[in-house]
């Protein structure tokens, strides 16, 4: 069904679903010139980011873990645990290496 949707159409569809409340949480990772940026947006629009820069031995995260950022905002423990397990253990270096291969 979605095979023939162009990228811009897909992004518009995702944005519309998000606005209508169908999408409850959104995670993105985007390459930058010297690393990558991970972003989580919750259903209420709360936004959390982790910036990573490439180093000689891998990468360095410039921000607190998502779960630590969310804890400061009073997000419930169940979400914190799931976010910690799913996103805070992510190795950004692997993504940055894949991005270089895609050039």
| Residue pLDDT, tens place only, 23-42 | 578 889 898 889 999 999 98
Give the mean model confidence (pLDDT) for residues 11-18.
55
Give the mean model confidence (pLDDT) for residues 74-101.
83
- What the block records as the tokens of 100 is 């270089």
Using alpha carbons only, what angle is made at residue 41 by residues 36 and 44, rounded to the nearest 5 degrees? 165
Asked if 83 and 40 touch (Cβ cutoff 8 Å), the reply is yes
Task: Please provide the average confidence, as pLDDT, over all residues in the chain.
Answer: 80
> Within 13 Å and on the Cβ side, how many CA atoms surround 92?
27
Give the mean model confidence (pLDDT) for residues 9-30.
65
pLDDT at 74 over 50: yes
Q: What is d(CA 90, CA 67) in angstroms, rounded to the nearest whole number?
A: 13
pLDDT value for 44: 86
Report for 9-23, 38-52, 78-92: range of highest mean pLDDT: 38-52
Asked if 27 and 37 touch (Cβ cutoff 8 Å), the reply is no
pLDDT at 66 over 90: yes
Percentage of the chain beyond pLDDT 90 is 30
pLDDT value for 95: 79
Asked if 23 and 17 touch (Cβ cutoff 8 Å), the reply is yes
């Amino acid at each position: 069904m979605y095979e023939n949707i162009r990228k811009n159409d897909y992004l518009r569809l995702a944005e519309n679903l998000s606005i209508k409340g169908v999408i409850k949480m959104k995670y993105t990772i985007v390459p930058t010139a010297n690393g990558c940026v991970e972003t989580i947006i919750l259903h209420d629009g709360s936004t959390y980011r982790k910036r990573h820069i490439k180093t000689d031995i891998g990468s360095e995260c410039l921000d607190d873990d998502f779960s630590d950022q969310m804890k400061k905002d009073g997000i419930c423990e169940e979400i914190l645990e799931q976010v910690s397990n799913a996103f805070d253990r992510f190795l950004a270096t692997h993504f940055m290496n894949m991005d270089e291969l895609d050039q």
